[in-house]
Homo-oligomer: A and B are copies of this chain.
Amino acid sequence: MTTSISIFDTTLRDGTQGEGISLTAEDKLKIALKLDALGVHYIEGGNPGSNSKDIEFFRRAREMNLRAKLTAFGSTRRKNSNCEQDVNLKHLIESKASAATLVGKSWDFHVHTALQTTLEENLAMIYESIAYLKRHQMEAVFDSEHFFDGYKANPEYALSALAKAKEAGADWIVLCDTNGGTLPTEVHEIVTKVCSVIDANIGIHTHNDCELAVANTLAAINAGARQVQGTINGYGERCGNANLCSIIPTLQLKMNYSVVSDEQLKSLTSVSRYVSEIANMVQPVNQPYVGNAAFAHKGGIHVSAILKDSKTYEHISPELVGNKQRVLVSELAGQSNILSKAQELGLDVDAISKSRDIIERVKELEHQGYQFEGADASLELLLRDASGNEESAFTIESFKILCEKSEANMVTEAIVRVRVNGQQVYTIAEGNGPVNALDNALRKSLVQFYPSIADIHLTDYKVRVLDEKDATAAKVRVLIESSDFNDTWSTVGVSSNVIEASWEALLDSIRYALLGKKSSGSLEQWPESVGLSNH
Interface residues, chain A, with chain B CB atoms under 8 Å away: 16-20, 22, 24, 26, 50-51, 53, 75, 109-110, 113-114, 178-181, 183-185, 208-212, 214-215, 218-219, 222, 234, 237-240, 243, 246, 249-250, 254-255, 280, 282, 284-289, 291-302, 304-305, 308-309, 311-316, 328, 330-332, 366-367, 371, 373-374, 397-407, 410, 412, 431-436, 439, 457-469, 471-474, 476, 480-481, 495-500, 502-503
Contact of A286 among B16, B109, B238 (CB under 8 A): B238
Using A239-B293, A498-B434 as known contacts, say yes or no to A184 and B19 having CB atoms under 8 A apart. no
Bound-state Cα–Cα, A75 to B334, Å: 15
Sample (21) of A-B pairs whose CB atoms are under 8 Å apart: A19-B285, A19-B373, A109-B311, A109-B312, A179-B313, A184-B184, A210-B246, A210-B250, A238-B293, A238-B294, A239-B288, A284-B284, A400-B404, A401-B402, A402-B402, A403-B499, A405-B500, A412-B499, A433-B498, A434-B498, A434-B499
* CB–CB B461/A471 < 8 A: yes
Bound-state Cα–Cα, A499 to B459, Å: 21
Bound-state Cα–Cα, A211 to B254, Å: 13
* CB–CB B280/A464 < 8 A: yes
Instruction: Please indicate the chain B residues that have their CB under 8 angstroms from the CB of A16 in the complex.
Output: 332
A57 to chain B, nearest CB (A): 13
A52 to chain B, nearest CB (A): 8
Instruction: Please indicate the chain B residues that have their CB under 8 angstroms from the CB of A367 in the complex.
Output: 53
Using A17-B298, A463-B476 as known contacts, say yes or no to A315 and B210 having CB atoms under 8 A apart. yes
Instruction: Please indicate the chain B residues that have their CB under 8 angstroms from the CB of A371 in the complex.
Output: 20, 22
Bound-state Cα–Cα, A289 to B211, Å: 9
Instruction: Please indicate the chain B residues that have their CB under 8 angstroms from the CB of A301 in the complex.
Output: 75
Contact of A499 among B332, B433, B469 (CB under 8 A): B433
* CB–CB A366/B331 < 8 A: no
* CB–CB B473/A465 < 8 A: no
A313 to chain B, nearest CB (A): 6
Instruction: Please indicate the chain B residues that have their CB under 8 angstroms from the CB of A285 in the complex.
Output: 19-20
Given contacts A399-B403, A401-B401, A433-B473, 14 further A-B contacts (CB under 8 A): A17-B332, A51-B332, A110-B305, A178-B313, A181-B315, A210-B249, A210-B315, A211-B214, A215-B215, A238-B294, A400-B402, A401-B402, A461-B465, A461-B471
Instruction: Please indicate the chain B residues that have their CB under 8 angstroms from the CB of A51 in the complex.
Output: 331-332
* CB–CB A210/B254 < 8 A: yes
Instruction: Please indicate the chain B residues that have their CB under 8 angstroms from the CB of A53 in the complex.
Output: 367
